[in-house]
Chains A and B, each alone.
Chain A
């Protein structure tokens, strides 16, 4: 807009000052916290990281599905819940994690653990993928040409259905079930005195932070999956088809791409990640219930949006920010206000970058 007289543009500083003020406030709070107790601060950051990496795994499913069909798949959080339950039944009921020991009696313990855990995780991922594809075929596909809101309401319906059907006595039962881990938790204390293994019942020495093997596993799994997905989308043929379908479905179809197949595949991959996240989440926070998916699902979705929905690195970055926002707000501002703070951050980020941090600037057509 070259020649229009816009005197208001000179007043942009008012808004910028407002944002700057907010940013300064946050920095002051964090800075004071860091100065007061650096060890505690570091510990809180690590706590936030663990949460963030779990969110990242769930966020991938949201971002992929949204990227290709522009649908907020509210049922994704409940697929995550199913993932946790599948692993629970596999481990606690069917002892699936111990099959290598039964099949090959002489096998060393660590290998049994590794193979068994992997089997359970793969089983969860597979069942979640099948579930998601079923949901997609039954509930979303018939509505592909309907108004987008119809699919969204359907997604909410599927989500309610999974939650309350799962809560029935003969399905998952409405109970909060203590989750049995496949392996024991080991905690290490890291501090001035070096790295030590924490013995149960022993207190943590001063000036040391704690890191558990769960944290390491979550971190590794999440990064591995991000890399795998990035590879899948960028380097493989199906990835290219996914990108093409997300860009322009009719044209992709003309190019001979089986768009419906690609969409189902996207749902399957996203759900497999959700299944993995469900297992990891249940290992880290071992109490499962049919409604456990609602909140992590929502948070992960927000994370995906924050990072720029449709973008895979965005999902990771958004999730990490979300994790930090939660842990640090809980640690230094106020736990009850945590969700409010997280959403305020989201809205403020939107005001600065309306399509999220990694989002593409062009507007999408509804």
Chain B
């Protein structure tokens, strides 16, 4: 009996706590949702049957687990896009209702979350998961159940591919494929930085980092450079002095560190303190307002866009994001989640019906102007979009060059 009382107490407690928590969230309850449907483009109006219902979109993000910050950023990026669409009258005349689920960046909770949104909430569209190790099992389910899934950030090649190497019909990603980004980084190191020797630091357990490091190593060697050392660490490390001592000893001309900003901050700071002068080269994971500019100064990274880019998509996104979320600057995860959501909704609009098969087909055909440039999907459901190279300086991240695919 006592157990039931506790359970009851917990339910009440959870309701109370969440009610407080939900209040400041700038989510679906935004008043803008009731904007007149007349603002909608006429073409979509004609194509869509005038059903003013709800369209559910699930957002699977690791809100707990090892990387809650990635989850929160992804969720915020996705919700911002949904809010903007709702302000414009939704999609196909329907209000978009986001369903956020915590997937913990771990296979089982991600699978549970996916099953829950598909079977209980009957969604046909999923944005997420963030980590490849969670989005791969989700993609199997989504593809089998004909649910369109766009992962903002899962770079593992097998995420969009089935066992025979063919693209899964309903599964897409919004981030660069490792091949493109790693290759550009290798070329940049060889041609622009004139480096002959490179050191690669990687996290063995992280798909994203490992994939980029492998591509970089292959392309840098193929281009005539030498990899003087490869060292790995784990995501929870804070002390990099042991491997940095080895970097200092090998004295490379460039260090490739394609990890997220939290690792980059620690590594570059400790490297500076250890007298390592070689520039660091990284990937889109560096993109964050939390990147330690002083530590990373002198480094370069490949990214989706430059904050200085005058295109309205970029400027509007950064501005709205700041306004909506207490001045937080979007990082790569928020940007990609925003783009992924916009891509999805654009696909639904282009398909003209709330039907996942039609939307999946539409997605392969559309060309979309997102924050990260003009995007379309290739045969493997990887996005084709330009890549920007940015330089980190003491007073900000500066545009260096742009590379088209």
Residues of A within 8 A of B (CB): 37, 40, 43-44, 47-48, 50-51, 164, 167-170, 173-178, 185, 187, 189, 198, 200-204, 210, 212, 281, 284-287, 289-292, 294-296, 326-328, 330-331, 335-336, 338-339
Known: A174-B69, A201-B277, A210-B275. A47 touches B265 (CB 8 A): no
Instruction: State A328–B231 Cα separation when bound (angstroms).
Output: 14
23 residue pairs A–B, Cβ–Cβ below 8 Å: A44-B245, A47-B245, A51-B241, A164-B64, A170-B24, A174-B72, A177-B290, A178-B290, A187-B273, A204-B274, A204-B275, A285-B239, A286-B266, A287-B262, A289-B69, A289-B262, A326-B239, A327-B241, A327-B242, A330-B233, A331-B242, A336-B232, A336-B234
Q: Which residues does chain A contribute within 8 Å of B236, judged by CB atoms?
A: 294-295
Asked if B273 and A47 sit within 8 Å, CB to CB, the answer is: no
Number of interface residues of B (CB under 8 A): 39
* Bound-complex Cα distance A185 to B272 (A): 10
B66 touches A169 (CB 8 A): no
Task: Give chain A residues whose Cβ lies under 8 Å from the Cβ of B21.
Answer: 168
Q: Is the CB of B266 within 8 A of A47?
A: no
Q: Which of B231, B238, B246, B276 has a CB less than 8 Å from the CB of A292?
A: B238
The residues of B that contact A201 with a CB separation of less than 8 Å are 277
Closest chain-B Cβ to A74's Cβ sits at a distance in Å of: 16
Closest to B64 in A: A164
Name the residue of chain A whose CB is nearest to the CB of B201. Answer: A335
Residues of B contacting A174 in the complex (Cβ-Cβ under 8 angstroms): 68-69, 71-72
Partner of B274 from the list A187, A284, A295, A327 (CB cut-off 8 Å) is A187
In the complex the two chains form, is B233's CB within 8 Å of A286's CB? no
The reply to whether A50 and B241 form a contact with Cβ atoms under 8 Å apart is yes
Do the beta carbons of B266 and A167 come within 8 Å of each other? no
B248 CB–A CB distance under 8 Å? yes
Beyond A40-B245, A331-B245, is A212–B273 a contact (Cβ under 8 Å)? yes
Select one of B242, B266, B275, B276 contacting A330, CB under 8 A: B242
CB neighbours (8 Å) of B243 from chain A are 330-331, 335
| Beta-carbon contact of B72 and A287 below 8 Å | no
**7 further interface pairs, Cβ-Cβ under 8 Å (given A47-B239, A50-B239):** A37-B249, A175-B290, A178-B265, A201-B277, A203-B277, A295-B238, A335-B234
Q: Complex formed: what's the CA distance from A204 to B251 in Å?
A: 10
**A-B Cβ contacts below 8 A, count:** 111
- Beyond A174-B72, A176-B262, whether A286 also contacts B269 by CB under 8 A is yes
Q: From residue B314, how far is it (CB to closest CB) to chain A in Å? A: 22
Q: Are A285 and B245 in contact (CB under 8 A)?
A: no
How distant is A185 from chain B, measured CB to nearest CB, in Å? 5
Q: Are B64 and A44 in contact (CB under 8 A)?
A: no
Q: A169 with B72: in contact, given A187-B275, A336-B232 (CB under 8 Å)?
A: yes
Q: How far is the CB of A296 from chain B (nearest CB, A)?
A: 7
Instruction: Return A60 CB to nearest CB of chain B, in Å.
Output: 19
Q: Restricting to B234-263, which residues have a CB under 8 Å from any CB of A?
A: 234, 236, 238-239, 241-243, 245-246, 248-249, 251, 261-262
Q: Report A215 CB to chain B, min CB distance, Å.
A: 10
Residues of B contacting A40 in the complex (Cβ-Cβ under 8 angstroms): 245-246, 249
B292 interface contact, C-beta 8 A: yes
User: By the criterion CB–CB under 8 Å, are A176 and B261 in contact?
Assistant: yes
Q: How far is the CA of A185 from the CA of B64 in the complex (A)?
A: 34
Give the top 3 A-B pairs by smallest Cβ distance, nearest first. Answer: A176-B262, A174-B68, A330-B242
Chain A residues, Cβ within 8 Å of B393? none
Q: Which chain A residue has the least Cβ–Cβ distance from B260? A: A176
Q: Give the distance to chain A from B326, nearest Cβ to Cβ, in Å.
A: 9
The contact of A291 among B66, B233, B239, by CB within 8 Å, is B66
**What chain B residues lie within 8 Å of A37 (beta carbons)?**
249
* Chain A residues near B245 (CB-CB < 8 A): 40, 43-44, 47, 331
On chain A, the residues within 8 Å of B262 by CB distance are: 176, 287, 289
Q: A47 CA to B277 CA in the complex, in Å?
A: 19
Q: Separation in Å of the B70 CB from the closest CB of chain A?
A: 8
The answer to whether A287 and B242 have CB atoms under 8 Å apart is no
Contacts of B251 in A (CB 8 A): 203
